[in-house]
Amino acid sequence: MLSHDNFNEEKLSKMLSEMPKIQDNQDKDKLYEKISNKINGDDQQDAFRTKQKFPWAIPSIASIAVVILLIVIFQDAFPNRQYSNSDSASEQSTSSSDKALENSDMAPFAAEKNDSFDAGKRDESDGMTENEMSMLTKDIGFSSYIIYDSNPNVSIIPVAAMDENIQYVVPLTLVDNTNPDADPANFYNQLDAFINEEELGVVVFPFGKIAFQLELGENKVLLTIPDGYQMEEGSAIGGMFKQVLATMFTPYGITKAVVDPDNSRNESFGMYGNIDSLPLDKPKNQSFKLYRGTKANQALLIPSLPNQFNTMEEALEDMKQNQPDFLLEATIDSDVDLEIKVKAQGVTISSSSSKVANNQETATMIEAILLTAKSFGYTSVTFDFPVEQVGAYQLNKSIQVPAGPNPIQLH
């Protein structure tokens, strides 16, 4: 029997630092060959997959052509009816359109792609393409606060923190460009490892050792709550629990958080009562403003959660108000008058104000409006402004709503 009574920290540290060096016995060239084969193999597989798509792609294109032809014939045959529809559409109010737009869900991120969302994107044939969108984040020329899910080699994970006063949820988007199939649970189970609280001026929710497991098939997130975990009842932080979960998980289509009964001893959500399931409502009808923590290096676009607005006009009006007590800055200049027209999937925002120009303020306004429009269920926004270009945003085309706000590059 050894005696380890003298295993003090110093001795332990010394022993650890004297652990043997483990050599790799592989030949460098052979290792490169394996890696190279895998990379090239993947490329070939991709090419093969592309080739495999052609047999059904051609009939699909033919079908689309037939549909377009039918639409053209239909329009020619009933010109008056078409005019009437378009007329009534332009008179639609923002609020009345909400119901019709309920199906245009937020983009699910990461590995689970939603076909209906992709189809929605393709419908916007006269809008900017996803590739054009992805260029925006690189070439905008101004600070950007949004990200598009356009690169198949990148994983995008919606996460959330709180502002330093624990008043608002701060949505963030983790961007892992090294792993297209990253398991989102990896990120949720150690959020504080990926969110730099000091730099962003945010507070990560103290989930402790609560483990998350996404069960997308059943639209739920399973929470394993460790023995002894205490939710701070009645505190500001406790009240944010549901909102933080909703911001992180509803983009996947998740509708409830469920305590895993097999692995949790504390089978309830504490302050929410003795329940083992918590409904998660998708944050809707928000306004987005700039939040800047007192010691933060950068600003973030955050929603008005839990405040909701009845119409987009009201939300845009709110975005003109500074709230210095809450470290929130307006994202729309109070002198800028905006007019809103609603179409089936998108919305048109018009302004003739001379303050709308090719500058940072307008770029931020555009991004805040895109996020706001997304929260109202729209998939694209057309900006009818006196300038044609703001940063890399070409305003002569409709612009799709982004995948998420406040991207954080992980590498």
Partner 1 sequence: MRAAFDELYENYHKDLFQFVFYMVKDRQQTEDIIQEVYIKVINAYDTFKGESSEKTWLFSIARHVTIDFFRKQQRKRNRIIDFFDWGENGHFIKDEADLPDEVAVMNEEMRLVYQCLDHCSIDQKSVIILRYIQSFSIQETAETLGWTISKVKTTQHRALKTLKRMLADHDRGEGTNVESR
Site of interaction with partner 1 (CB under 8 A): 1-5, 7, 9, 12-13, 15-26, 28, 31-32, 34-36, 38-39, 153, 176-179, 182-183, 185-186, 190, 192-194, 196-198, 409-411
* CB 192, min distance to partner 1, A: 7
DSSP state of 257: E
* Amino acid occupying residue 153: N
DSSP state of 108: P
* CB 273, min distance to partner 1, A: 31
Residues 75, 124, 250: CA angle, nearest 5 degrees? 125
Cβ-defined contacts of 332-336 (< 8 Å, 24+): 332/365, 332/368, 332/369, 333/361, 333/365, 336/365
What is the Cα 187 distance to its own chain's centre?
14
Among candidate residues 333, 339, 320, the one with its CA nearest the CA of residue 384: 339
* CB 41, min distance to partner 1, A: 10
Q: Which is nearer to partner 1, 112 or 198 (CB)?
A: 198
What are the structure tokens assigned to 297, written together? 């290096």
Q: Which is nearer to partner 1, 186 or 350 (CB)?
A: 186
* CB 296, min distance to partner 1, A: 14
- Three-class SS of 121-175: HHHCCCCCCHHHHHHHHHHCCCCCCEECCCCCCCEEEEEEEEECCCCCEEEEEEE
* CB 291, min distance to partner 1, A: 21
* CB 234, min distance to partner 1, A: 28
Q: Which is nearer to partner 1, 35 or 67 (CB)?
A: 35
Q: Which is nearer to partner 1, 185 or 237 (CB)?
A: 185
* CB 180, min distance to partner 1, A: 9
Asked whether the beta carbons of 380 and 401 are under 8 A apart, the reply is yes
Pairing of strands 399-400, 380-384: antiparallel
Q: Which residues of 72-82 are buried (b: 16+ CB within 10 A; e: fewer)?
A: eeeeeeeeeee
Q: Which is nearer to partner 1, 34 or 81 (CB)?
A: 34
Q: Which is nearer to partner 1, 24 or 325 (CB)?
A: 24
Q: Which is nearer to partner 1, 38 or 113 (CB)?
A: 38
